[in-house]
Amino acid sequence: MAENSAPVNAVRSRYQLLLLMLMPIGVVLLATFVFYTRIGMPEGTRNRGTLIVPPVQVNDLGLRDQQGALVRLESTKPQVWIFLIAHPAACDEACRKEFWEIRQTHVALGKYQNNIRRVWLVTEGQIDAGTSEWLAREQQGLQLLYVQPGQWQQLLQQSVEGAASLQKARFHLVDPRGFVMMYYDAGDTYKDVITDMKFLLKGVE
């Protein structure tokens, strides 16, 4: 009897391990579902950012790093989301101020900082030496990615909200699977962003 129970216990242990591994994915998917459908959302609660419906897949753009290698924005940890700043390589003082504010919002997330990455999607041109020095000095942890001119705009024009975001967005929110699902504009405060992110990351450690 003991001999027969050993394989059964081994199988049960494997199922338990699989369940534990899938739990973080389930939390993210459930939070995203509630975010989009409002089902289960407390009365009077709403997302602060503007949803892009349907969401668009950023990896369809063929993203490349500074060395020209293809990169996919997908997280091996399902709880990692991306603040995506889409902007040409030329970045003046007003642009740098935006980057600073987004970085400060990232820092203000406290214990959730590791659940967020910041990415600059360069939509046109190449980063010059001065900008590279500024990034190294003031934007540690920011990932630089490049896309062919016009491709980002073409991707977002697949939806009304996405097209509107081209003129309004300070940055876009990308989920762990690479979908651009929401954007924040000048009317959204850092507290609005933090409220949304704490909801999406609720229960994720």
Range 23-50 average pLDDT: 55
Nearest residue to 174 (alpha-carbon basis) of 103, 70, 85: 85
179 DSSP β-pair partners: 57
Say whether 60 sits in a helix, a strand or coil.
Answer: helix
| HEC sequence for 69-135 | CECCCCCCCCCCEEEEEEECCCCCHHHHHHHHHHHHHHHHCHHHHHHEEEEEEECCCCCCHHHHHHH
Q: Of the CATH numbers 3.20.20.70, 3.40.50.300, 3.40.30.10, 3.40.50.10490, which one belongs to the domain with range 11-17+22-200?
A: 3.40.30.10
Whether residue 37 has pLDDT greater than 80: no
Q: Which of 178, 34, 166 is nearest to 119 (CA)?
A: 178
Looking at the chain, the whole-number percentage of residues with pLDDT higher than 70 is: 76
Cβ atoms within 10 Å, residue 187: 10
Pairing of strands 179-185, 50-57: antiparallel
For the beta sheet containing 116-122, the strands, ordered from the edge strand earlier in sequence to the opposite edge, are 50-57, 179-185, 169-174, 81-87, 116-122, 143-146
Lowest-pLDDT range of 44-58, 107-121, 153-167 = 44-58
> Is 158 in contact with 73 (CB distance < 8 Å)?
no
pLDDT in tens, 98-138: 999 999 999 999 999 999 999 999 999 999 999 999 999 99
Domain segments of the chain as ranges: 11-17+22-200
Among the residue ranges 6-20, 144-158, 174-188, the one predicted with the least confidence is 6-20
Strand, coil or helix: 143: strand
| Tens digits of residue pLDDT in 170-199 | 999 999 999 999 999 999 999 999 999 999
pTM of the predicted model, to two decimals?
0.78
Looking at residue 72, its pLDDT comes to 94
